Chain A
Amino acid sequence: MGATGKLKKISLVLASLLIMVTPLLVSGCGQAEASLKVGLSIPFTGPAAEKGRPMGDGVLDCIKYINEELGGVEGIPIEVVWRDTQYDSARAANFVNEFMDKGCLFFTTCASKEMAASMEIANRNDFPGFTVFSSPVCIHPPEHIYAQMPDYGDSWAAFAKYYMENIWEGTGKPRMALHLLNNPTGSGASDAAKALADELGIEIVATEEHAATTLSEIESLSRIKAANPDVLFISSTPQPTSIILKNARELGITPGVTVGCGHASFTQALIDLSGSAAEGVYGVFPTVNWGDDVEAMEKMTEYCLEYHPDDYGNMDYITCWAEGLIIAEILRLAVEHVGVDNIDQLTPQIVEEYGFKMLDNFDPGGLHGPVSYSAGDNRMAKAVRVFQVNGGAMVPQTGWVDAPAILYEDFDWFGQ
């Protein structure tokens, strides 16, 4: 036999060995230490990495803190199975299968898009999970999916309520224009306006859409200007919102017309991008700001500066540090129910029943409003704060304001 023949035989043997050994490598060896498994879908890379990266850093740093400094949950470490979805729906959907296969007790996603892709498989399998940012479709009708924070519709409702009670001084109905991102961030606000505008006494006079990649909104704002609104609400992300604010200033819409922003855009990044055009703009956000005097701030800042200093000042890091604290609390409640010595009895269904549904005024270190479960309302935190940009800083105008629950499923148009 020549050298080529030997080479072929060796390659065949190696290929066979690889095929035989791979399952062993994948399944791991030996007895694993007891842990509480949680699956995390994070858009670390891809088109949403700008938000996904600090969000992932925040939650992973928080779990690291819980495991290393607090000794896990009731002495049991949290084992994170995190996956980079790349903001891709198919991957997000199949990761739910993986989380279930790997024995995760529940899962979380960062974005409403990821949850929208994952929720059908999760709901079909009674596998609970929550999403940090959410749109109404994720939790209406309420099944096994929960929202960590108020959704994009709640942002509109909270701002509209605040506007009517504290800013509007005219007679009759104020005229409101909406400028919405062309995805669930925008449609969430639009759905809330459809549901509540009449009840709150607001007239919607114009609705415009924009893309995340927009470079100019002069045309749409000209139409809005022609509709002569008293207030403009923008539900979008920081970059396009900054363009709308600058264009509104150029067209003379502001100052004069009150502007409010939903929580997906109202971060320090918006102020940095908009400059003086952001002055006087109102916005809602469900978490505190960096440097605020709350319980979790010191430890969170310490971890952020040590491991991810680039994330310092980013509100998404705060949001997901709070996510980590909520994960631990859900697990703590479930472990408390079955007993520390019986954690092998924990199932996703037990965690949902005795973890998610037992949340009662849990304080995530003061980072956002209290977290509770109320039947029929799968939003875990229901409160936002209203801020106003003043001197280049976000100045709180209110304490925690509860966003009213909107039963979207009762409206014929919802989901149509």
Chain B
Amino acid sequence: MDLPAGIRNFTYAQDMAIFRTRWQWMMLVVFILALFCAPLLLNNYWLGIANLIGISIIAATGLNILIGYCGQLSLGHAGFIAVGAYAYAIMVSRFEWPFLAAMIFAGVVAGLTGLLFGIPSVRVKGFYLAISTIAAHFIIIWVINQWSSLTGGYNGMGVPVANLFGVSFAGQKNQFYLIFAITVLVIFAAKNIARTRLGRAFVAVRDNDLAAEVMGINLFRYKLLAFFIGCFLAGIAGSLMANWIGYLNAENFTLNESILYIGMIIIGGLGTTLGPILGVVFIRLLQEGVNSISPLVEGWIPALPSGFTAGLGPMVFGLVIVLFLILEPRGLAHRWNLFKASYRLWPFSY
């Protein structure tokens, strides 16, 4: 039986490779092929869910860099996504910028906004920082609502369909390819950030900022860099969200969304590249499962008054989050690693 009991690395490059075996490369190719073929198999609704998952992965990856790697608690992530969404929408609708330029601009504007609100992180941390980022959320939403000449205010604003090299991204299918191409790039970048000096500096700041400073890490620089990168990705997610939804209103970006993103990275596993992916997929699919089951349950039990099962969603979410916090606080990524380790060692028990 050809089962590896371990992989020997002969060079530093081999040791640092993300995909180290032929089997892993094969799995990657199969996975990419499956992603490529997904639009042929999925209907618009499921493509819509997949697109939302892709967008959420980008945003959650940004938040994971900020919280999971650098330890800077932010409860204003939906606000930064809103900045990106509006920056993108304004550039494409008012100034007719091309998609790519507007998207990168949206990321930079959101990143700079993050820098601004990240400044207090130098002096405060933990709950105090969380409160200051909540304030950021409310300030951003207030500005969006009041600056009606630019943002449409409470009425919101329409977003023209994105075009790239003559391809229109109006339908879910085309958007799927766009969103997942960007998602893959973002995950790749996040993975590499975590493995560089920058990522290790983030981790040092997270684990003990005093010790990190003594070791020569400039706390001000690295904390703000984490805010910039996290919010830049939020801005990229916002621009894709703007194109996906087609009509922006500040009510789309609630504090609940920010909390949901934190729930996603906790369930997925803080401080891992895989965590945000698993957390987002889990939460979004759970939402769909509950949504599909609620009306079916009413169909199966006609004696129930209509709308009776509407409370199922909040109950399941509450239960899942509590169970995760109790049973697997290190998240799905840790569980996945245990699963992989057990298969790698099989049939040996250790």
Whether the Cβ atoms of B170 and A187 lie closer than 8 Å is no
Interface residues of A in 58-103 (CB under 8 A from B): 60-61, 64, 81-84, 86, 89-91, 93-94, 97-98, 100-102
Which B residues are CB-close (under 8 A) to A26?
292
Which B residues are CB-close (under 8 A) to A1?
347
Given the contacts A116-B247, A187-B155, A307 and B306 also touching, CB distance less than 8 Å: yes
Q: Is the interface of B mostly helix, strand, loop or mixed?
A: helix
**A59 — nearest CB in chain B belongs to which residue?**
B306
Given the contacts A101-B43, A416-B152, A89 and B313 also touching, CB distance less than 8 Å: no
Interface residues of B in 285-318 (CB under 8 A from A): 287, 291-292, 294-295, 305-307, 310-311, 313-314
Please choose the segment from A168-176, A178-186, A346-354, A358-366 that sits at the chain B interface, where 4 or more of its residues have CB less than 8 A away: A178-186
- Candidates B43, B152, B291, B346; contact of A415 at CB < 8 Å: B152
Whether the Cβ atoms of B44 and A101 lie closer than 8 Å is yes
- Candidates B44, B154, B247; contact of A119 at CB < 8 Å: B247
Q: How far, in angstroms, from A8 to B311 measured CA to CA in the complex?
A: 36
Whether the Cβ atoms of A97 and B47 lie closer than 8 Å is yes
Q: How far, in angstroms, from A91 to B291 measured CA to CA in the complex?
A: 10
Q: How far, in angstroms, from A44 to B305 measured CA to CA in the complex?
A: 14
**A57 on interface, CB distance cutoff 8 Å:** yes
Given the contacts A84-B294, A101-B44, A89 and B307 also touching, CB distance less than 8 Å: no
- Candidates B247, B307, B311; contact of A57 at CB < 8 Å: B307
Whether the Cβ atoms of A187 and B311 lie closer than 8 Å is no
**A45 on interface, CB distance cutoff 8 Å:** yes
- Candidates B49, B161, B313; contact of A86 at CB < 8 Å: B313
- Candidates A53, A86, A182; contact of B145 at CB < 8 Å: A182
Q: How far, in angstroms, from A45 to B157 measured CA to CA in the complex?
A: 26
**A55 — nearest CB in chain B belongs to which residue?**
B307
Which B residues are CB-close (under 8 A) to A100?
44-45
Whether the Cβ atoms of B306 and A57 lie closer than 8 Å is yes
B224 to chain A, nearest CB (A): 30
Given the contacts A83-B291, A94-B45, A120 and B247 also touching, CB distance less than 8 Å: yes
Whether the Cβ atoms of B251 and A45 lie closer than 8 Å is no
**A161 on interface, CB distance cutoff 8 Å:** no
**A340 on interface, CB distance cutoff 8 Å:** no
A179 to chain B, nearest CB (A): 14
**A190 — nearest CB in chain B belongs to which residue?**
B154
**B192 on interface, CB distance cutoff 8 Å:** no
Interface residues of A in 303-329 (CB under 8 A from B): 307-308
Instruction: Give the B interface residue count (CB, 8 A).
Output: 46
**A144 on interface, CB distance cutoff 8 Å:** no
Interface residues on A, range: 35 or more
**B51 — nearest CB in chain A belongs to which residue?**
A94
Q: How far, in angstroms, from A4 to B292 measured CA to CA in the complex?
A: 35
B342 to chain A, nearest CB (A): 8
**A5 on interface, CB distance cutoff 8 Å:** yes
Given the contacts A53-B307, A117-B245, A101 and B45 also touching, CB distance less than 8 Å: yes
**B56 — nearest CB in chain A belongs to which residue?**
A90
Which B residues are CB-close (under 8 A) to A4?
349
Bitwise interface map of B from 154 to 169 toward A, beta carbon under 8 Å scored 1, else 0: 1111110100000000
- Candidates B149, B246, B287, B343; contact of A416 at CB < 8 Å: B149
**A281 on interface, CB distance cutoff 8 Å:** no
Whether the Cβ atoms of B252 and A183 lie closer than 8 Å is no
A18 to chain B, nearest CB (A): 13
**B347 — nearest CB in chain A belongs to which residue?**
A5
A390 to chain B, nearest CB (A): 33
**B172 on interface, CB distance cutoff 8 Å:** yes
> Counting chain A CB atoms within 10 Å of each CB, which of B159, B306, B313 scores highest?
B306
**A355 on interface, CB distance cutoff 8 Å:** no
Whether the Cβ atoms of A82 and B295 lie closer than 8 Å is yes
**A283 on interface, CB distance cutoff 8 Å:** no
Whether the Cβ atoms of B311 and A98 lie closer than 8 Å is no
Interface residues of B in 153-206 (CB under 8 A from A): 153-159, 161, 170, 172
> Counting chain B CB atoms within 10 Å of each CB, which of A2, A47, A84, A117 scores highest?
A84
**A56 on interface, CB distance cutoff 8 Å:** yes
Whether the Cβ atoms of A415 and B157 lie closer than 8 Å is yes
**A217 on interface, CB distance cutoff 8 Å:** no
Further contacts, 13 of them, CB under 8 A, given A1-B347, A120-B245: A42-B307, A53-B307, A56-B306, A61-B306, A64-B306, A82-B295, A84-B313, A117-B252, A120-B158, A120-B159, A184-B156, A191-B155, A416-B148
Name 25 A/B residue pairs within 8 A (Cβ), A-sorted. Answer: A2-B347, A26-B292, A45-B311, A45-B314, A56-B306, A57-B306, A60-B306, A64-B306, A83-B291, A84-B294, A86-B313, A89-B249, A94-B48, A94-B49, A97-B172, A98-B44, A101-B44, A101-B45, A116-B247, A124-B170, A182-B145, A187-B154, A415-B152, A416-B149, A416-B152
Residues in chain B within 8 A of chain A (CB atoms): 43-45, 47-49, 52, 145, 148-149, 152-159, 161, 170, 172, 241, 244-247, 249, 251-252, 256, 287, 291-292, 294-295, 305-307, 310-311, 313-314, 343, 346-347, 349
Instruction: Please name the 10 residue pairs, one residue from A and one from B, whose CB atoms are nearest each other, closest first.
Output: A120-B246, A60-B306, A44-B310, A98-B45, A187-B154, A89-B252, A94-B48, A97-B44, A101-B43, A97-B48
